[in-house]
Amino acid sequence: MTGPEIVADVLVLGGGPAGAWAALSAAREGARVVLADKGYCGTSGPTASGGNNLWNIPPGPARERSVQARFEDGGRLSEPAWMYRVLEETHRRVDELAGAGYPFPSGDDGRDVRTSLQGPEYMRRMRRRVHRAGVTILDHSPALELLTAGDGSVSGAAGLQRQNEYAPWSVRAGAVVVATGGCAFLSGSFGTNVDTGDGLLMAAEVGATFSGMEFSTAYALAPTWSGHTKGLMMQFATYYDADGQPLGDGGFSAREVAMAHLATGRPVYARLDRARPDIRAAMRASQPNYFLPLDKAGIDPFTQKYPVRAVLEGTVRGTGGIRVTGTDCASDVPGLFVAGDAATRELITGGRSGGGSHNGAWAISSGTWAGAGAARFARVRSAPDRVRGAGTAGLRGPSARRQASRAIVGLVQEHTLPLRRSYRRTATSLQDSVTALDEAWAGAADLLGGSERELLQARSAAAMLAVARWATHSALARTETRGMHVRTDLPDTDPAQTRRLLSGGLGAVWVRPEHGTARADAGTVAS
């Protein structure tokens, strides 16, 4: 079987909110756009599987306070100018969604409450808008590698179509937007099975740089038998130990106490007993997927305790990703633009997780800017006739080695998922992980390969391994505690390290400080 060979102005990789906004934005600039998704655009990814809060604050004192609070909470690594810019863009695009008919709920004053989106409805509408804008959508078409021209500029991508007998596809384009999501290391977090860091690996293979990879330790609490990690409901939780004694003061403030309890191997239970009876129906309506597994188990979470576990969400809810070098979300590689979880969020969240709120706003804003930027880039540089594949690890290896892929994934999970590895770090544990992961990478080229399904598995295993290496090397290099990066051997925050860490490399990983970052008086960034 053979798949499509397409020539376009802009290729968008990823069909989540960032990818959808990027495709829509590029089409509005007059570009011929192709969107290729690993799953089915509009249904795959964490946003489509649950609710999505939004950092959407109208101009005024509340916005000012929010920016300042986030700047401090993120370890002063963000840039206020970018934060204001994201807030303004998000506000405009949410107004646009409302004008297009998105059914926002009404508050007590009769006005729309525009601080959250129902994931399934949101993404269903975004797919329809993208389709109506004339974008060609390639569903179930995971990308395997970026394509480059003779000058090294990114000029398309190639992959396989899972529902077309794994037929190859390729798109030559003037510019590419990577919006493939982050990496949750196949932890079982809700909707993140497609988030294995593929876009980050592809970007590294063309020379892209990363930022904030040490801030990849975002965990969420979920019912023990469920992967639903949407944390909005947990603000109403009281946590209990095995003897039924409360842990902490309840709500978000008690979350760290519960996490520390779990880190010692002790069980933790939750009950949503802080929710008033009059808002419980609204809670169920806003996050029905959270309650479904509890209902199936015969548990009323408002009156009965249920066990919870910590689930790593990595860079999906964390901060690190491909470095952003321009206001149009360009990377440091010509022709490559980045958006959403694939891009670093340090510009707006610093070293702290953005949760759904900031992350949802970043997906909308960065997608809009990246799509428009890619379209403008493609106007002066059409798709070249001659391109070559840039893929390496897991792509051109030996015949099918399914067991090798499973072994690599198992090793990566051993050094990322446990709380003892990522929630609290020490130089000893980090060095142990660096050694093991680097040794695995040295043999990956000889071990990982295959065809069709095995090729996709090999590529995802290689991507997970690469992301784990950038994260652990960066964590070892940050010799302090800041934001979500906690070093139990270095518990203090060092003012001299108030700067972002850049990382990159495949054969040999490198980490170095980015100069001139995290200034409290960050200059104005033009919209």
- Report whether pLDDT(526) > 50: no
Handedness of CA 492, 346, 222, 249 (dihedral sign): positive
Amino acid at 208: A
Compute CA distances 436 → 31, 103, 254, 468, whole Å: 45, 50, 34, 11
**Region 345-351: what's the mean pLDDT?**
97
For residue 60, what pLDDT band results from cuts at 50, 70 and 90?
Answer: very high
The pairing of strands 336-338 and 306-313 is unpaired
Give me the DSSP letters along 248-310: TTSGGGGHHHHHHHHHTT--EEEE-TTS-GGGHHHHHHH-HHHHHHHHHTT--TTTS-EEEEE
Specify burial of residue 66 (Cβ count, 10 A radius: 0-12, 13-18, 19+). middle
Q: Give the tens place of pLDDT for each residue, 493-513.
A: 999 999 999 999 999 999 999
For residue 520, what pLDDT band results from cuts at 50, 70 and 90?
Answer: very low
Q: Where are the alpha helices (DSSP H) in 55-149?
A: 61-73, 80-99, 119-132
What is the distance between the terminal CA atoms of the chain, rounded to a whole angstrom? 46
Ordered domains of the chain (ranges, CATH): 5-216+315-389 (3.50.50.60), 219-311 (3.90.700.10), 404-513 (1.20.58.100)
Q: Which of 101-105, 129-133, 253-257 has the lowest mean pLDDT?
A: 253-257
Amino acid at 405: S
For residue 251, what pLDDT band results from cuts at 50, 70 and 90?
Answer: low
Q: Above pLDDT 90, what percent of the chain?
A: 80
Q: Where are the alpha helices (DSSP H) in 147-269?
A: 198-205, 255-263
Q: Which residue has the tokens 């919870």?
A: 308
Q: Write down the pLDDT at residue 527.
A: 32
Nearest to 341 by CA among 218, 259, 221: 218
**Region 52-68: what's the mean pLDDT?**
93
- Report whether pLDDT(12) > 70: yes
Beta strands in 314-418 (DSSP E): 321-322, 336-338, 388-389
Say how far apart CA 19 and CA 199 lie, in whole Å.
12
Q: What DSSP state is assigned to residue 488? A: T
- Report whether pLDDT(524) > 60: no
**Region 323-327: what's the mean pLDDT?**
97
The pairing of strands 5-13 and 167-178 is parallel
For residue 522, what pLDDT band results from cuts at 50, 70 and 90?
Answer: very low
Cβ-Cβ contacts under 8 Å for 451 (sequence gap 6 or more): 166, 399, 400
Q: Which residue has the tokens 């969604």?
A: 97
Q: Write down the pLDDT at residue 293.
A: 87
Is 474:505 a contact under the CB 8 Å cutoff? no
- Report whether pLDDT(268) > 80: yes
Average pLDDT of the chain to the nearest whole number: 92
Is 488:426 a contact under the CB 8 Å cutoff? yes
Most confident of 58-62, 216-220, 330-334, 419-423: 330-334
Q: Write down the pLDDT at residue 397.
A: 67
* pTM assigned to the model: 0.94
